[in-house]
Amino acid sequence: EVAMALEGTLRDFSLADIFQLIGLQRKTGVLTLRSAEDVVSISFLEGRVVGADSLNKRLEDRLGQVLLKTGTIGQDDLEKALKVQMETLERLGHILIRHEVISREGLRHAIEQQILQIIYRVFRWQDGDYHFSQETSIDYDHELVTPLGAESILMEGARMLDEWPIIEKRIPHRGIVFVPAPAARTVEVAADEELAELDDFEFDFDETPAPPPAAGRVKVSALEREILDLLDGRSSVDDVIKESPASEFETCKALYTLLSRALIREASRDELASARSEVESPAALAPSQASRIPWLAVVLVPLLVLSQLVAPRNPYPPLLGTGPNIVHRLQTA
C-alpha cells in the first residue's frame, strides 16, 4: 500500500495520483487544493466523493445556475426559492422539492453536475498546493448526494486533460465570436443510432483541414444544434458557455466539432462592427426622442396667457399683476 503525504504540491503529487490513492485506501476526509486563482475543497467518504466547494465559486457552479442551464427550473421558480431560503435558511434543493418545482432525481443529477464541474476544473491546474485532512466522518446530504467513485472521475478527468489542449488550439480565448457557416443551414439532429458515427469524428489529432460538408442534410448532436442556435453574431465563446445547457468542457467540445466540420467560422471584423452598430442603431433611440416633446408646456402656456388677461379683474394679489416690466415678470413666472 502506497502512503500519501497529507500535504504537498501538485507538481510533486498530481491530482490524479491523489484521487487514486484516496480511492484505493478508502479514506474519509477533506482534500483542500489552493492555487493563485482559487481554493477548492473536496469531501471524501471511504474513498468516494460526496461534495465539492469553491471559494471563488463561478456562476455556473452554483446549484441554481446549474438548474437554470439545464432547463430544469425557470428563473421565476429560482427567485421564489431564493427568497424563501433567505427567510428560512433552508437548503435550496429541499425548498425546490417541497414546492414540487423539481423531482428528487432531477435535483440529485444537478448536484452531481455541480460537484463534477468544480473537480474537473481543478484537473487543469498547472500548479498548486494540497492538504488532506483525515476525518472519522463527513457531513453531507445523504438524501440528495450519491457518492461518486474516484475511478470514474479519474477516467473522465484524464479524457478531458487529453482533449482540452486540442480544443484550445482552435479556440485560444473566450472572446472569440463564431457565426454559422452556409453549410449550417442544412443541419438536423441525428437519431440515437447515428450518434455513434458522429462520436468517431470528434477529434482530429493530425489537425488536417476540415473536408467540406457532404451534400444533403448534415447530422449533428442535439447539443451541437443548441450551440448553433446561440451563435447570433454578437455572443462570444464566454457568452455561449454561460447560456449553454451543458458544462464548460462539453460546450467548448461542441464548438470544436462544429469548427472541424466547417459548420461555423470566426466572425470577421466587418461582421462584428455590423452587429455592434445594429445594437446601437438610432432606431433603438426613437422612443426616447418622442418622450422629449414638452407636453406640459403645451398645456401650461395657454393657461399662463389667460391668467395674464384676467389679472386686472382679480381682487386678490395677482401672480403677475399689471405695471412696468410685464415681459420680464412673465418670463420669470
Q: Are strands 148-149 and 48-54 parallel, antiparallel or unpaired?
A: antiparallel
Q: How confident is the model at residue 290 (pLDDT cuts 50, 70, 90)?
A: very low
What 31-38 contacts at long range (C-beta under 8 Å, 24+ apart), as own/partner pairs, is 31/130, 31/131, 31/132, 32/130, 32/131, 32/132, 32/133, 33/122, 33/125, 33/128, 33/129, 33/130, 34/128, 34/129, 34/130, 34/131, 35/125, 35/127, 35/128, 35/129
Contact in structure between 318 and 310 (CB atoms under 8 Å): no
pLDDT tens, position by position, 184-202: 888 888 876 666 665 555 5
Q: Give backbone dihedrals phi and psi of 156, rounded to 5 degrees, phi first.
A: -70, -40
pLDDT of residue 74: 87
Which of 146, 209, 263 lies closest to 254 in space, CA to CA? 263
Is the pLDDT at 329 greater than 80, yes or no? no
Q: How far is CA 58 from CA 54, 62, 275, in A?
A: 8, 7, 28
What is the reported pLDDT for 197? 60
The whole-chain average pLDDT of the chain stands at 82
Q: Which of 81-90, 204-213, 312-321 has the lowest mean pLDDT?
A: 204-213
Looking up cell 471559494, which residue turns up?
Answer: 55
pLDDT of residue 3 exceeding 60, the answer is no
| Stated pTM of the model | 0.66
Region 38-57 average pLDDT:
92
Is residue 59 within 8 A of residue 152, CB to CB? The reply is no
Q: Return the pLDDT at 58.
A: 72
Amino acid at 277: S
Map grid coordinates 448526494 to a residue.
145
